[in-house]
Amino acid sequence: MPERKTIQSWLETAAAQIRWRRARPVLTRELAQHLEDQRDAFAAEGQENAEALAVEEMGDPVAVGAELDRVHRPDPQWGPLAAALVLAATGAVLRVWLTAGWSDRSADPVRSSLAVILGGIVLLTCYFLDFSALGRRPGALYLGSLAVCLATVAWGPEIANVAYAARYAALWLPAVYACWAFGRRRSGWSGLALTAAGILPPAAVCLLIPDTFGLLALLLTAALLLFSAAGCDWFGLGRRKSAWAALVFTAAAAAPMAAVFLRSRRLLVALHPELDPLGGGYSALAIRRALSAARALGEGAETAPPIQAVPNAGSDAFLTTLICKLGWLPFLAVVLTFALLMAWLLHRRARHQSQLGRAVVLAAAVALCLQALCSAAWSLGFTLLGGTFPLLVGNWNTVMDLGLLGLALSVFREERIARDAPCSALPRWRVKVTIQRVS
């Protein structure tokens, strides 16, 4: 009995030739659409066996599948993955080495090694994840993440009234928010309103922790996302209206943040620590004193105060320790390596096609870059916002940051099959008023 030529069997044979399993449904969808068009055209001409003719018209499924297999292969990101792991391992070695003999404040070699190993596992897991799955269920992801953060706030460990575990979890909130915003595309004003309102629950979580850095990263991501969304007309309102809405949102978000900073005198003290030498300015003054004796390469002058005198010299101010113990050049090498990694990430993002991918990379890059900026500024004596340098300092912090980087790299790994789910066009309503003269 001759084999029946069906669209399904043709697609299955073609798909079987494509070795990259995740690419199969993406690629065969377009072929299926073509086959259906061809079948409908034959049926419209009055042909009885329209489906078989359409399949015949397509050609050899094995040849087609093999050709597609040749074009579509995952784009491995081994270089950036290796760079991230090397940075994390270097950070662990430096922390253990430079803080050795600091009694209870020295870095634990076992914990630091475990953090790098666990971070590596998380990095690779996120890298091999299908990032597009995040865009398929943005609501569930958003609610689930908020629930996890709230649970860690409620039951997680606390140090000085700060829910520390929740601070690590909050590093992922910008990425989760990006998926939430992506899910509101093509929903008009309601989509825009939900995107803007969607920032409130995660912002409330950051205030509960409390985590000023997390809040800033979240608001900055949201503002950048809204401007980026306006450029692509995500909400179907037109670019100009969306840009105005983004501007209003940014102003509304920036105003209370600025008010908090100004009222708490944080900015003033960060700029002039001598105004509050025993309070908020103490860390900045200690850091500046320690740095004043630093050299280009090698340990600073013996006249300098001991580095242990600097508060958080093993965490937030670890880069100060690095400068004082090894010199400015190793500091520049580490910071430049990280900056190059981030520049590469943003450069790739600019060329990327999928809007979900761009949103996810933006959120990850904002969280990582902001941490780096805050930490570097703190370590140089500008103590506005504390934070550990990503990938280099901190155990859980490193694990979460490696995960974020893995997620961003997974976007580029699947770049060749990155497709945003189509949205139905918005219905356009127009009210027409006519005035007629009745004679």
Partner 1 sequence: MDLDRSLVSGSMALLVLKLLEERDLYGYEMMETLRARSDDTFHLKAGTLYPLLHGLEEKGLVTAYEREAAAGKPRRYYHLTDQGRCALTEKEASWHRYARAMHRVLKGGACCAGA
Which residues in this chain contact partner 1 in the complex, by CB under 8 A? Answer: 27, 30-31, 33-38, 57-61, 63-64, 67-68, 70-72, 353, 416, 419-422, 424-425
* Degrees to nearest 5, angle at CA 389 with 382 and 364: 115
Contacts of 245 (CB under 8 A, 6+ apart): 192, 196, 226, 230, 237
**Smallest gap, in angstroms, from Cβ of residue 186 to partner 1?**
11
Given the complex with partner 1, which of 34 and 241 has the nearer CB atom? 34
| Shortest distance (Å) from residue 58 CB to partner 1 | 5
Return the axis-axis angle of helices 138-155 and 173-182, rounded to nearest 10°. Answer: 150
Distance in Å, CB of 424 to partner 1, minimum: 7
Pair 55, 10: CB distance under 8 Å: yes
Per-position DSSP letters for 123-175, written without gaps between them: HHHHHHS-THHHHHSHHHHHHHHHHHHHHHHHHS-EETTEEHHHHHHHTTHHH
- How far is residue 243's CA from residue 228's CA, in Å, rounded to a whole number? 9
- Cβ of residue 11: shortest distance to partner 1, in angstroms? 12
Name the residue among 386, 400, 361 with its Cα closest to residue 178: 361
Distances (CA, A) of 256 to 98, 124, 259, 373: 40, 39, 5, 21
Residue entry with tokens 């805050």: 374
Q: Could you tell me the smallest distance in angstroms from the CB atom of residue 174 to partner 1?
A: 26
Where b means 16+ CB within 10 Å and e means fewer, 300-337 reads beeebeebbebebbbbbbbbbbbbbbbbbebbeebbeb
Min separation Cβ 233 and partner 1, Å: 12
Work out how close the CB of 51 gets to partner 1 at its nearest, in angstroms, rounded to a whole number: 14
Least Å distance, CB 40 to partner 1, is 9
Record the tokens describing residue 286, joined without a space. Answer: 């200690």
Residue indicated by tokens 């803080």 = 99
Place of tokens 């003054």: 285
Q: How far is residue 230's CA from residue 234's CA, in Å, rounded to a whole number?
A: 6
Q: Which of 398, 338, 393 is nearest to 119 (CA)?
A: 398
Cα angle value 300/304/308 (rounded, 5°): 95
Least distance from partner 1 to the Cβ atom of residue 431, Å: 24
Nearest approach in angstroms of CB 208 to partner 1 is 40
Tell me the C-alpha to C-alpha distance, in Å, between residue 328 and each of 111, 322, 331, 380.
Answer: 27, 8, 5, 11
* 19: number of Cβ within 10 Å: 13
